[in-house]
Structure 1
Amino acid sequence: MKQSLNYLTISISSCENYIEFSSIVLQNLGQVLPFKLEYLDLILHIKKSDFEVFLKNSQDTFIKKLLINNLEGQDILPYIKEYIRKRKE
């Protein structure tokens, strides 16, 4: 599966434990992504610490288009900007 996956959408928004499930997904997703992904769409409740784990674990994955719908989670935009800035250095 890792070699043939090009598009992935993960939506966890309507279940009772969506905050807990969102954390589990983000903490583990970066470890199972292929080396190249055309499109990743995340519809989750995102905590900064979980997003940081996702970014660290997915460093070896090239994601052409990343869409994030952060459902009532923490503001991760400053963290994304900082991460991009550090990667350019």
Structure 2
Amino acid sequence: MTPAEDGGCPLMNDLYEEMKRRPKRKNQRFRIEMILDAMDQEDRESLSAALIDEDIQHVRVSEVLNEHGYEISVNAVRNYRSMLRQRG
């Protein structure tokens, strides 16, 4: 049973219904994919290697990218790496 069907609070019903009515969007691209597209070949290869290297922490990837003008959060790096692991 959904929260709206459960007779929850009116605000919850309104929020739930609004979220449910919104149209589905096409899949959003990962921020890191946009960064990779903007890089030259050498930097792209370097970042790709760093992303698959489990010895390099998410925070280090984020810090270095931000220092080089590519704005990205630690969570965005973590999410992208998680997706890479799932794809195998």
TM beyond 0.5: no
More strand by share: 1
Higher relative contact order (CA 8 A, sep 6+): 1
Q: Bin the TM-score by the shorter chain.
A: under 0.3
| TM score, norm. by length of structure 1 | 0.27
Larger Rg: 2
More helix by share: 2
